[in-house]
Amino acid sequence: MKKILTTAALTLVLVGGGTTTASALHKDVQLTVDGQAVPGSTFAVTVADVLNGNGITLAPGDVVAPSLDAKIEDGQTVALQYAKTLTLSVDGKTDTFTTLAPNLRAAVADRGIEALDQAWTSVGLDAPLPRGAGTVSISTPKPIELSVAGKSTTITSNANTVADLLSEQGLSADADDIVAPSAETVLTSGAKVRLDRVEVTTKQITEDVEAPVTKTKNSALWAGETKTLVAGKDGRADRTYQITTVNGKVTEKVIVTETVLLAAKAASVEVGTKTSANGVGINLARAAMWDKIARCESGGNWSINTGNGYYGGLQFNLAAWQSNGGRDFAAYPHKATREQQITVANRYYAKSGTGPWSCA
C-alpha cells in the first residue's frame, strides 16, 4: 500500500536521512488567504501540512484548493478562501448570507446596489472582510426632506442615520430641541427629518389680574342674556412666566411664580336659561352693528312706538317681527328687550342680510 508522508513523520525522516532528505522535503509554497499572499516556505507533504504549518484551522464553509490531501510540489500555490456570514443592511433593509468574497465590494457585486462608490459603508469597500460572522451597513445617496427651524429643503445624502445626517449638515441639537424621527433611525429614500429649535426662557412682568366671575343660572332670563349682580374689579400681580417657543413661535406660557399686589374682586353674574317652545335663546351676533342701525332708525330707543306701524329700536313692522319668530319673546317688537330684538334681527339677517333696514 502506498503511504503518504505526513508532518508528524518529518522528524523521523530528517533524523534518518540527513540534510539531503531535509532538502528534498523543504518546499517553496505560495499560500494565499482570501487573495492575500502569506510569506514563507515550509516542510510539507500535503496541503493540510501547509495549513497546519501556518496555524490555520478550517471552519465550515471554508474552501481550499488543492484539496487537503493533495501532495505538495515545489513552487506550488495553495489558495484558501474563508467563509464569512454577513448581515447586510442596505438603507435599512437587512439580509443575511454567506460569502467567500475577500472584501465588501466583491461580496455585494451581484446585488445591484446603485452608486456603490458614493455610498457610506461601515467597512471599507476594498478592506478585507473579517473571518466568521459580521454586520455591515451600506447607505446609498438618497433624497431626504430636511426641516430645520420650520424651513424645509430636499437634499441628497448617503448618511446612514438621522444623527449622521445632522452631523453631515453641521447641525446639532441641544437638550430642548426636538429631533424627529429619533437620532438612531436608519434613513430610507424620501425620509423626512425634522429639527425643531426649542427655547425655554423666563420673563417677569407686572400685570392686571382679571377678576374671577361667579355665575348662577336664572330661569327668568333668556338663554344668552346675563345680569350682573356684583361688579368685579381686576387685581394686580408680579408674575414670572416660563415661555416656550418652537421655531420662534410661542407654544406655551406658564406662570411659575406670582406675587399678588392687589387682590381681584370677584364678579357675580346671573346667566339666563329660558328658551322658547322650540328651544331658542338669545343670539347677540353683530350686536355692535345692530346698535349702530338702531341709533339711526330710532335714536337707539329700543322701546319706542310712534304709532306709524314700526316698532322698537330696529323699527320692525309687525309682519316682519312675526315671520321671524318675534312672538317667541313678545307680541310686539317694542315690548321685547334689546337682546331679544337683536336675536330676531339676526334671524331676518340670515334670510335677507341688511336689505330691510334703510339705515344699514
Q: Closest Cα to residue 73, out of 37, 40, 25, 5?
A: 25
The overall average pLDDT reported for the chain is 90
- Which of the residue ranges 14-28, 115-129, 193-207 has the most confident prediction, judged by mean pLDDT? 193-207
Tell me the residue ranges of DSSP E strands in 226-299.
Answer: 226-230, 235-246, 249-262, 267-274
For residue 84, CA distances in Å to 63, 79, 166 come to: 11, 16, 33
pTM over 0.85: no
Q: What is the pLDDT of residue 220?
A: 86
Looking at residue 17, what is its pLDDT?
42
At 271-301, the pLDDT tens digits run 999 887 777 788 989 999 999 999 999 999 9
**Cell 533524523 appears where?**
15
pLDDT (mean) for 82-107? 94
Compute the average pLDDT of residues 196-222: 95
User: Could you give phi then psi for residue 258, rounded to 5 degrees?
Assistant: -150, 130
Written as one letter, the residue type at 243 is: I
Q: Return the pLDDT at 10.
A: 39
Identify the DSSP state of 283. -
How far CA 240 is from CA of 123, 207, 250, 255, 330, in Å, comes to 54, 11, 16, 6, 52
What pLDDT score was predicted for residue 149? 96
φ, ψ of residue 203 to 5 degrees: the values are -145, 130
What would the pLDDT profile of 330-360 be if each residue is shown by its tens digit?
Answer: 999 999 999 999 999 999 999 999 999 999 8
Confidence of residue 41 (pLDDT cuts 50, 70, 90): low
Q: What is the pLDDT of residue 260?
A: 97
Q: Which residues of 157-185 are buried (b: 16+ CB within 10 A; e: fewer)?
A: bbbbbbebbbeebeeebeeeeebeeeeeb
Report pLDDT for 279: 74
- Position 160 scores a pLDDT of 96
Residue 8 has pLDDT above 60, yes or no: no
Q: Region 5-9: what's the mean pLDDT?
A: 40
Average pLDDT for 118-142? 93
Report pLDDT for 158: 96
Domains, the chain, with CATH or none: 7-81 (3.10.20), 84-139 (3.10.20), 142-196 (3.10.20.90), 200-270 (2.20.230.10), 281-352 (1.10.530.10)
Average pLDDT estimate for 114-139: 92
How far is residue 139's CA from residue 185's CA, in Å, rounded to a whole number?
A: 12
Q: Inform me whether the pLDDT recorded for 57 exceeds 70.
A: yes
Strand order in the sheet with 192-196: 151-157, 142-148, 192-196, 178-180
Q: What is the pLDDT of residue 15?
A: 41
51 phi and psi angles, rounded to 5 deg: -65, -45
Hunting for cell 342680510 — which residue is that?
A: 353
pLDDT above 90: residue 215: yes
More confident residue, 107 or 21: 107
Q: Are 121 and 104 in contact (CB under 8 A)?
A: yes
pLDDT band, residue 24 (cuts 50/70/90): low
Position 154 pLDDT exceeds 80 = yes
